Structure 1
């Protein structure tokens, strides 16, 4: 059975149950029960209409759960009787599920977990493994999120920008456990792009594709990080790059620039350079200027300092860096890199070692430690 196909049907099935009168939490539980049932019986007896089968079984699961719960007897009177089996409706508006799962009353972590469960169709165990937390912890997080949105009206328009931020958070988790969250985020963003005609939705999809295209080259055989300038560009996925660039160009042509389009433009310029030395850093600085105007983000300004250092020399980069708060994440690592480019190996080695102690993960810590050790060895020679 194609598990990705099965998960892709989840939001449409959930939408139907909610529109029939089930509250979100109960409907989501019923859909998960139906998915488990599908995994059990479809191998031997696959249905002709997979979505219709899931809707029928999930609705029965919901009715069974409602009737078994004496605290919900009153609501049972308002629930429709089971509809006759038939083809699944073709036009379910699953976009509302994205809006609901990205509701502003949820924390970002809860919104991500609920999106993966309700829209992505992942199990609680899979989500917990991807986020490296105990399954019980993730189950509590999802339960609280479902309770939070259960009273939210389902017919109100949602905020596309919030949905995109949740999907971007999913993408940035990358890969862990048995679920590739980056690939899952791309799949879900494609769904939103098919339903929403907005250049920022296209911009996010382009950004994901362009970043994902470099994935195979980001780590060495021993698992160590490979910086962008040192990556084997022959390992980049040219088909994903071409698709991402095409989507981006169509979005930019609409002249409604947003932050995801600007980020994608920067990624496209990196992808366009056949070797690192031919990267158009001047244009990248210009795009960072646009991005800074759109977001006023200190992280964007930090990345801009690196680009300025490449375009105008390391001392110009250090001057741009001096205007930023030194407590910013990766500020010390950027300073180390710019000092190394400027030939100050003593300062660079010290800052690399300092940055390694502040690194957010083991892979980055090891990478920075190796850079410090390499510079110290050069000084010794």
Structure 2
């Protein structure tokens, strides 16, 4: 202590200031070194984190590349569709519901109105048949599987204008779950409607590609069949009627795999009868797998004139062409419903888009009565105990 006091006493003020400055510089240098060390440590940590992220990105890129290759392979299979059928729909393995054939044989009638040509009357047929059977006390489940939702608008009538067109509806069916069932407009029994809207189109594509890539559990072709063959539907309803899209889509394939009966409506002209032949070839390509081996069908003529007794020459020629086509296929007689040709009456146009013609247009009822009775004999329900052909 004495030495320090002696040193301080001998130092001049300028020397003291110099010492203080040197000490300050020393402290500053130490501080700078510490900051530099901390910065280097932080930079090293950032480099480590960046390296880890880079490795993760490389792994993700490799995974995405693999998925892209798989997607390209799936897309290549998808675009090989020819005449409405391809290996996409007949790919193995097949995973139908347990006891599929037996349950189909014991099922209530599940009728699909189907054709690969638009504008032939599928929606008009499905909607008004549902109304006809409902008026006779049957509990009908009417399903719209065309994303355009025309059947939904008909079957819900005024209620359709206030509904949410983004609601799940038929999309939920393709996911393997039952959606909300809306009451059918003017229903006399406990008949209901499962609706469709434009989001169904994207859902079909999404589920199909996930299935082709092996990312979707189960067999997406049989999801509707699993639901319709379940006790929940089989005990609540007497009949199911399905309106299908005029394209080979996931919805159409589901409808064909679930249907016990097919009704193929066609306009009576050359182009439409050619479309029927193409559709029958598609069914041949899909049977016996994935479609059920036994599935009866009938062809229904939808003509442009207003009376079946005054058919035009072109319509008569179309009928003859259908008969010739069926004979060449070796089909049994009676597949074309000659006694149930449905004329293009103005009542159907007046009701289009706003309700069911059978409910709102008395002029069409006699024709629909004749048609409904014919379809009832073709696909009898347990409720009516009609004698099957």
TM-score normalised per structure 2: 0.29
Normalized per residue, which structure has more strand? Answer: 2
Bigger Rg over Cα: 2
Higher relative contact order (CA 8 A, sep 6+): 2
- Relative to total residues, which structure has the larger helix share, 1 or 2? 1
